[in-house]
Structure 1
Amino acid sequence: MRNDLKDRLLDAILPHVPFDGWSESAFRRAVEDAGVTPAEARGAFPRGALDAALHFHARGDERMAERLRSEDLSEMRYRDKVAYGVRVRIEIAGEHREAVRRGMTLFALPMHAADGLKAMWGTADAIWDALGDTSDDVNWYTKRATLSGVYGSVVLYWLGDQSEGHRETWEFLDRRIEDVMRIEKVKGRARQSRLFQRLGSMADPLLSRIRAPVRMPRGDLPGYWATPPSGARPPE
């Protein structure tokens, strides 16, 4: 029910964003258009338009993930799957291109930069998750950090791209993915060097402790149940 209210407010604010940005005035107009009380609106989006912008981004991630999971990508190379994930996400964003542009401006502000980086990380995480990434060590973080940078640069390029069918954006995306793959190849060769192996043996005790965060189950219920380890005693 909470998400229904969020979606209702988001749909109401989107027509105002191209003119007023993700602003308080746009949010107030959305509250009126949605026919909800200010208290209900603040309950859904405590920070007003800022939270609405974040929900807009998260909803795009969800739609992208649903589409990727529904398609058969088994015949694609892994690098092409990643590029396709980024492309699908941008195509979904293209439904409200000006809202994306206004969002980039909003999250460029120092007080909202952390929210913007978190949203970008969420997109990278959603892409890797939808593609079936199973890494649970330090690679979990490096994959998402790298893809966050790729996605952010491609979005900025796309916003200024006037080519037919955004052809230049997709070419730019392919180049960025190729850069990432080239870096991975260099890292692979470096790991085989004696110097790297010596340094790696020193860092292994620390890196081996790095694990991906525990995944919360999908759903809208608070908390989650984790099976206790064998032999564990219940709390007294």
Structure 2
Amino acid sequence: MIRASPRFFTVRTVQASLRSYATAHTSKSEVDLPRQILERGLQLLPEHGWDLAPATRSLGLSDQAASIFPNGKFDLLQFYLQKQTAKLASVQLKSSTPDGCVRELVHARLLANAELGPYLGEAVSMLMSPKYLPYSLEQLHNLVDEIWFLAGDKGHDATWYTRRGSLAMIYAASESFMTRDNSPNFKHTLSFCDRQLNAWSRFEAAEESVSEWFKFNAIAAFNVAKSLTR
């Protein structure tokens, strides 16, 4: 079924990306192998981080088997990002308003990063690297598009883009903030995120220039990113 608002990401996209890894194989076992390695990599992530070699060894394969993934660690990271975006559809929303649902979904996605432990910082660093930036921006767009869709966003005007651009900046800044947050249950990160969301709501309600809000939030995001290099 075709949805009314433009969308660039579906669960089928995740499935297609997984199949693309196996286009050169013919047998069922070979076709399933890339996914098996990636799934095993996520299982071992708390212990071994983004390295795929432990996953291949645990499956009885040599370390060279990881070479089927041209981007190595980043391929595992992108698999993680796709799965987390797809999982948002199962979040039980309590709010009755789109803005409230957006807040719940963003919180849920941020808190899912808790399972990464000390490897969250490395993930954010990879996402911010020039080599992977185009894909990182694509994944960020996919995430915020899914969040707005699940929140019931039905708007089809020009603000469709500004809403997604604004939320993308808020999420990126919040995730960067999270890498330095040691508070229980990432309380400080969620508070930081809420301040950004509230600021956006105030600008939107006051019909302020979108460019002014972008400037405001870009400065906040820059300051958070800068703190990560200290």
Quickly name the TM-score band, shorter chain normalised: 0.5 to 0.7
Aligned partner (choices 164, 172, 179) of residue 152 of structure 1: 172
Q: 1: distance between equivalents of 2:123 and 2:79?
A: 11
TM-score normalised by structure 1 residue count: 0.65
Q: 2: distance between equivalents of 1:29 and 1:153?
A: 31
For residue 161 of structure 2, what is the aligned residue in structure 1? 141
Equivalent residues of 1:121, 1:148 under 8 A apart: yes
Seen in structure 2, the aligned counterparts of structure 1 residues 6 and 92 have a Cα distance that, compared at 3 Å, is farther
TM-score normalised by structure 2 residue count: 0.67
Aligned partner (choices 146, 163, 168) of residue 188 of structure 2: 168
Deviation for aligned residue 1:35 = 4.0
For residue 54 of structure 1, what is the aligned residue in structure 2? 78
For residue 9 of structure 1, what is the aligned residue in structure 2? 37
Higher gyration radius (CA): 1
Equivalent residues of 1:97, 1:159 under 8 A apart: no
Moved more, 12-21 or 101-110: 12-21
Deviation for aligned residue 1:114 = 1.3
Q: 2: distance between equivalents of 1:49 and 1:101?
A: 14
For residue 58 of structure 2, what is the aligned residue in structure 1? 33
Equivalent residues of 2:111, 2:186 under 8 A apart: no
**Gaps spanning 5+ residues in structure 2: where?**
1-14, 20-31, 210-230
Letter in 2 for 1:123: L
For residue 100 of structure 2, what is the aligned residue in structure 1? 80
Letter in 2 for 1:181: S
For residue 131 of structure 1, what is the aligned residue in structure 2? 151
Letter in 2 for 1:178: N
Residues 192-211 of structure 1, C-alpha deviations (whole Å, 9 max, x = no match): xxxxxxxxxxxxxxxxxxxx
What SS does structure 2 have at the residue aligned with 1:110?
Answer: coil
Matched residue count = 182
Deviation for aligned residue 1:49 = 2.4
Q: 1: distance between equivalents of 2:133 and 2:46?
A: 21
Q: 2: distance between equivalents of 1:153 and 1:6?
A: 32
Letter in 2 for 1:150: I
User: What are the within-5 Å matches in structure 2 for residues 82-231 of structure 1?
Assistant: 82-187=102-207
Letter in 2 for 1:163: S
Equivalent residues of 1:64, 1:92 under 8 A apart: no
Equivalent residues of 2:141, 2:168 under 8 A apart: yes
Letter in 2 for 1:52: L
Equivalent residues of 2:106, 2:147 under 8 A apart: yes
Seen in structure 2, the aligned counterparts of structure 1 residues 122 and 5 have a Cα distance that, compared at 3 Å, is farther
Deviation for aligned residue 1:183 = 1.4
% same residue: 23
Residues 7-29 of structure 1, C-alpha deviations (whole Å, 9 max, x = no match): 5323332466567754xxx2233
User: What's the RMSD between the two structures over aligned residues?
Assistant: 3.0
Residues 148-179 of structure 1, C-alpha deviations (whole Å, 9 max, x = no match): 10001111112211122222222111111101
**Gaps spanning 5+ residues in structure 1: where?**
191-236
